[in-house]
Amino acid sequence: MIKPTSHFQPQNLLSEFIEEFWVERGHALPDKSFLGFAMRHGMELRDFYAVLEDAAHRGILEKTERGAYFRH
């Protein structure tokens, strides 16, 4: 898990992303939006992927074999 900084709080990022891009339950997160979202929050793409991986590990998201993330 990544450590919070003054720029972002990992626990809030996923909620903000879902709200910003209107991701409904059972739908995939729009991966083409990941980079822009991360940059607007002052983080690297790999840090945002760490947030997604953590959410998948906790059962908030489902990660497919092809690497797509779906909202539960």
> Domain spans of the chain?
10-61
Of 26, 20, 25, residue with least CA distance to 34? 20
Tens of pLDDT along 14-66? 888 888 888 888 888 888 899 999 998 888 999 989 999 988 998 888 999 88
* Crossing angle between the packed helical segments 10-20 and 45-57, to the nearest 10 degrees: 90
63: which 2 tokens? 């990660």
CB–CB of 18/12 below 8 Å? no
pLDDT at 4 exceeding the cut of 70: no
